[in-house]
């Protein structure tokens, strides 16, 4: 099969806060249709890098290309149009507490296009079903939802404008193991059925093992990119500590058992 090529390209990204250098020449690409994980220790700049890709922060040097367009060179109006082309969820859902679930999902659509209320209601129903929620969820307030339901509603909102690229910030944080597994399976289902390219920031080793085609690790202001197997085999001290602890060993054993079954 031909290489689908990159949908996102980072080249020589530098991010600084005063004298503190967070990223020093970071570069990698994300291939169309893959699930790409981004990990790193506290202070490694995962969220800063995500904001740079999303056009929410301009880097001090380097460029970000998304579908061939230079995000770092866009003016404000171009950035507004660009932000309609991707979906994003944040760690705690970031739902508007004063709005119902339906109103939260409708919001990005209503801001982008002029649709009648019946069409918006139909879109809400479709997106709720797509993320495994029942229609009666639409009238509820965010405070009435479980943590797992909040994340699914946030995902439904992120999918409202039919994006080709989905960005997820700690998608399974705070979920119990069963809910986290179910959410991982949902992500795999959406990638398969919608042809999404997905970039996720996560510290969850189970999620990395279940969902990601490749993983980028931020260390020493640089980035190391490989398959999970390649990352696990790397000899960098932080990588070794992170991936070879008790949980990492258990996941490696599970993957080996799965290959042998």
Pairing verdict, β 35-40 and 214-219: parallel
Place of tokens 């999303």: 54
d(CA 71, CA 83) in angstroms, rounded, equals 10
- pLDDT one digit per residue (tens) for the chain, 261 residues: 445 679 999 999 999 999 999 999 999 999 999 999 999 988 889 999 999 999 999 999 999 999 999 999 999 999 988 888 899 998 766 889 999 999 999 998 887 777 888 999 999 999 999 999 999 999 999 999 998 999 999 999 999 999 999 999 999 988 899 999 999 999 999 999 999 999 999 989 999 999 999 999 999 999 999 999 999 989 899 998 888 865 555 555 555 555 555
pTM as predicted: 0.89
DSSP state of 235: -
Tens digit of each residue's pLDDT (9 = 90 or more) over 223-254 = 999 999 999 989 899 998 888 865 555 555 55
In which order are the strands placed within the sheet that holds 86-89?
86-89, 165-169, 197-201, 35-40, 214-219, 222-226
d(CA 193, CA 239) in angstroms, rounded, equals: 33
Alpha helices in 25-66 (DSSP H): 46-53
- Check if CATH label 3.40.50.1360 holds for domain 33-41+86-260: no
Domain residue spans in the chain? 33-41+86-260
The alpha carbons of the chain give a radius of gyration, in whole angstroms, of 19
Here the tokens at position 249 are: 């060993």
Q: Contact at 8 Å (CB) between 39 and 207? A: no
Contacts 24+ apart (CB under 8 A), 237-244: 238/41, 242/39, 242/41, 243/205
């Amino acid at each position: 099969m031909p290489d689908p090529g990159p949908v996102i390209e980072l080249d020589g990204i530098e991010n600084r806060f005063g004298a503190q250098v967070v990223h020093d020449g970071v570069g990698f690409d994300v291939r169309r249709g893959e699930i790409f994980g981004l990990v790193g220790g506290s202070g490694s700049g995962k969220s800063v890098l995500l904001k740079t890709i999303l056009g929410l922060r301009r880097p001090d040097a380097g460029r970000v290309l998304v579908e061939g367009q230079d995000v770092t060179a866009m003016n404000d109006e171009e950035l507004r149009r660009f932000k309609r082309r991707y979906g994003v969820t944040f760690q705690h859902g970031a739902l508007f507490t004063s709005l119902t679930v339906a109103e939260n999902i409708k919001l990005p659509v209503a801001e982008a296009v002029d649709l009648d209320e019946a069409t918006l209601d139909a879109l809400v129903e479709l997106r709720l079903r797509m993320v495994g929620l029942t229609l009666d969820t639409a009238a509820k307030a965010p405070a009435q939802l479980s943590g797992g339901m909040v994340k699914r509603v946030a995902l439904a909102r992120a999918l409202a404008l039919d994006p080709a690229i989905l960005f997820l910030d700690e998608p399974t944080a705070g979920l119990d193991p069963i809910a986290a597994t179910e959410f991982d399976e949902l992500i795999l289902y959406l990638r398969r059925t919608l042809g999404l390219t997905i970039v996720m920031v996560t510290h969850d080793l189970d999620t990395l093992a279940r969902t990601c085609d490749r993983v980028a690790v931020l260390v020493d202001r640089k980035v190391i990119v490989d398959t999970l197997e390649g990352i696990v085999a790397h000899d960098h001290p932080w990588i070794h500590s992170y991936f070879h602890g008790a949980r990492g060993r258990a996941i490696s054993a599970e993957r080996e058992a799965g290959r042998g079954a």
